[in-house]
Structure 1
Amino acid sequence: MHGPDAEMSRLDFERWRARNPRNRAAYAEMEQLSRLSQRLGETALGRAHLEQRRHPSFLVGPGARIAFATLVVALLAGAAALPLLRGGATAPVIAAGPLATGLGEIRSFRLADGTRVILDTDSAIEQEFTTQARVVRLVRGRARFDVVHDAGRPFMVEAAGRAIFDRGTLFDVALGRKGVRVSLLRGAVEIRNRASPGSDVAPVARLVPGQVFADAPAAGAAQVSAAPGGADQWVRYMLSYDGASLADVVADANRYADRKISLGEPELATVRVTGRFRATPTENLAALLAAALNLRVERTAHGEIVLHKR
């Protein structure tokens, strides 16, 4: 959770930590051990051990060979993961004013107050920072906010008539066909109807980590519910669904590519999809959906990808 890919597992991790006090205690203990281990190299024993490791004799003995083999496997696994790491959001750059991403681009920015924002494909925000408040407007798409706490200047995200008030938080805000969707990964947020930092309007909802707020939930679903596993992995181009309609899955995928997927028969729109898929390339995603749902793929002369019933 202190590594470069921590955000891929943040939602599942926070759920696990909140589930049981023993989990929180165990993780705190491991963090302490990690901090202590980083200082071992500064001790006399640690320096002697490092000096011994510089000589070829460290390969003598079966235990040492096993350790070396394990190290090689770890290095190979790390090398194999590099393409995935490179496929995610780029390193943040300090930016002001309107920010936007192009088709198929996920990019990270650092705002003037230190807050980190990751913009999904074809997304845009506007900023208005004053001495009293920090306001960001989500114009389109989706964004993740890792907010730097400042009690004197509240942080707020405006999106389609909703105001999301931060309480030192990591959260996602998305604008879709069905309105605003807010997912909380860490901290706390309040969602209100009026975008005013000094507003005394009662919150529409308060979220705890692992919860999601939906403007227009599915039939029979609550406006605030548990977020599906993997929903936080969009920063790595991964789409995650739990009973979503095929129409929504296709609409999400089409935001990432010029070559679009369409449905050959209207009744396919309501087919339910559960699973995790990489959004790009579109051809691969269409093939996966076809295999999972017993469909066939047609490629038109114009380059369009059409899913049909068999």
Structure 2
Amino acid sequence: MERAAANDRDDAGAQARRWIARLASGSMSAGDLAGLNDWLDAAPEHRLAFQRERRTWQDLASLEEAFVPATHGIDHAGGPTPRRLKPVATGLAIAACLALVSAMPAVRIWFQADYASPGTQARPIVLADGSRAVLDADTALSVQFDHGERSVVLLKGRAWFDVRHGDVRPFRVRAGAGVIEDLGTAFAVELDGPDVDVGVTEGSVRVTGGTGRPVRLTAGARGRYGSGAAQRLAAIDPALIARWREGELLLRAVSVKAAIAQVSRYRAAPVFVWGDLPAAAPISGSFRTNHPDDALDTLIDMRGLQQMRLPGGIVIVRAPTE
């Protein structure tokens, strides 16, 4: 029995190393990442093996260099004039470069993540303590439960948590420069660059930003912090918080660039904004997450923008030309 268990661990370790090698190659597609998710969920020893092998790779000082383009030592100024590429070849080349640029940060996050939803749909999960969570599309988090604390780190995107009670250990979500502590509740957390938004659907939480005193939020209340103190936002109906769980994207007075970023998380291929977009009134509206291209076309038409569609579904949005 012990030999069989050891063989199972060895097999899981070998599979984990193969997955990590593919991640390090930077060639993982959304379908490949979904396959990794399925493998991780298939057996507890798979996730343990992945975490163990991931720590080994993270300890290698050369790992980060795999994601840095080796551009030094290349000088095109005195070289021969490059051949003019055909439009189709140019489009393919641009698409390939943009896809690589888009994939590299996601791969790095995958080395840290215990759970992720790399596709275009939200993903429900159950944590080790029985708490439930829903990860929106393009979201990743890591989990560390020990004797003193249940700790979750939101690495990317947004998630909703329904915390199981009866456990004396505090449940904390770390995002950006601050932390959100459960006080008997269900709540959503969104990481948007350096800023973090929090909304409570039930109960209450304690929100502590990068500096300042903590803020307590109850059902319907919302808060935000960056590197500074947490601030309260206008309260809303709790049923409107994290509506993306129901396939509905609610935009409230956001810039067109932010709206495009929100919609693009539900597309299989990325959307890039080229240059500055003209200043315009903020956008508010409701879109279905299962029809992101319809939402994107609507936003582009509303603001008179231009779009270029490249192979692989990549879209470049830019201001109208004069």
TM-score, normalised by the number of residues in structure 1: 0.58
Percent sequence identity over aligned pairs: 29
2:208 is aligned to: 192
Q: Deviation at 1:262?
A: 4.5
Query: Structure 2 vs 1, CA of residues 262 and 100 (structure 1 numbering), >3 Å: closer, same or farther?
Result: closer
Counterpart position of 1:295: 304
**Does 2:176 match 1:160?**
yes
Q: Which residue of 2 aligns with 1:238?
A: 248
Alignment of 1:148 with 2:164, yes or no, is yes
TM superposition shift of 1:270: 4.9
Q: Please report how far the alpha carbon of residue 127 of structure 1 lies from its aligned counterpart in structure 2 after TM superposition.
A: 1.4
Native 8 Å contact 1:147 1:166 kept in 2: yes
- Report the Cα offset of residue 108 of structure 1: 0.5
Q: Could you tell me which of 98, 118, 136 is aligned with 2:134?
A: 118
Residues 139 and 164 of structure 1: CA distance in aligned 2, closer, same or farther (over 3 Å): same
Deviation at 1:223, TM superposition (A): 2.2
**1:176-255 correspondence runs (5 A):** 176-193=192-209, 203-216=213-226, 223-227=231-235, 230-255=240-265
> Does the 8 Å contact 2:273/2:318 carry over to 1?
yes
Q: CA 1:150–1:237 in 2, change beyond 3 Å: closer, same or farther? A: same
Q: Is this contact kept in 2: 1:231–1:239, CA < 8 A?
A: no
Q: Counterparts of 2:266 and 2:164 in 1: how far apart (Å)?
A: 29
Aligned 8 A contact 2:176 2:194 in 1? no
CA distance in 2, matches of 1:210, 1:187: 9
Query: Is the Cα–Cα contact under 8 Å of residues 276 and 318 in structure 2 kept in the other structure?
Result: no
Return closer, same or farther for 1:298/1:159 CA change in 2, 3 Å cut-off. Answer: closer
- The count of corresponding residues between Structure 1 and Structure 2 is 207
- The unaligned stretches of length 5 or more in structure 2 are 1-40, 49-113
Cα distance in 2 for partners of 1:159, 1:178 equals 9
- Within 2, Cα distance between the matches of 1:134 and 1:298? 45
Q: 1:276 aligns with which of 286, 304, 318?
A: 286
The answer to whether the Cα contact below 8 Å between 1:145 and 1:171 also exists between their aligned partners in 2 is yes
- 1:306 lines up with 2:317 in the alignment: yes
What is the DSSP-based 3-state SS (H/G/I as helix, E as strand, rest coil) of the residue aligned with 1:288? Answer: helix
Compute the displacement of 1:153 (Å).
1.3
The answer for the alignment partner of 1:46 in structure 2 is: none
Q: 1:104 to 1:244 in 2, by over 3 A?
A: same
Aligned to 2:187: 171
Worse-superposed segment, 276-285 or 98-107: 276-285
Contact 1:260 1:282 in 2 (8 A): no
> In 2, Cα distance between the equivalents of 1:151 and 1:213?
26
Give the 5 Å matches for 1:22-41.
none
Deviations 1:205-253 (A, max 9, x none): 1111111111159xxxx92112556342111332212211111111122
1:160·1:180 contact (CA, 8 Å) conserved in 2? yes
1:69 corresponds to: none
Give 1 or 2 for the bigger CA radius of gyration.
Answer: 1
Give secondary structure in 2 for the equivalent of 1:268. coil
8 Å CA contact 2:162, 2:186 repeated in 1? yes
Aligned 8 A contact 1:212 1:227 in 2: yes
CA RMSD of aligned residues (A): 3.1
Measure the CA separation in 2 of the matches of 1:283 and 1:115: 34
Question: 1:126: how far off?
Answer: 1.5
- Matched AA of 1:209: A
Partner AA of 1:298 in structure 2: Q
2:295 to 273, 285, 289: 285
Alignment of 1:258 onto 2:279: no
Mapped contact 1:247–1:269 kept (Cα < 8 A): no
Worse overlay, 121-130 or 179-188: 121-130
- In the TM superposition, what whole-angstrom CA distance separates every residue of 1:114-142 from its partner, at most 9, and x where no partner exists? 10011111211111212332111112111
User: Residue deviations 1:251-292, cap 9 Å, x none?
Assistant: 12222223344556724365410111123433211222245x
Unpaired runs of 5+ in structure 1?
1-92, 195-200
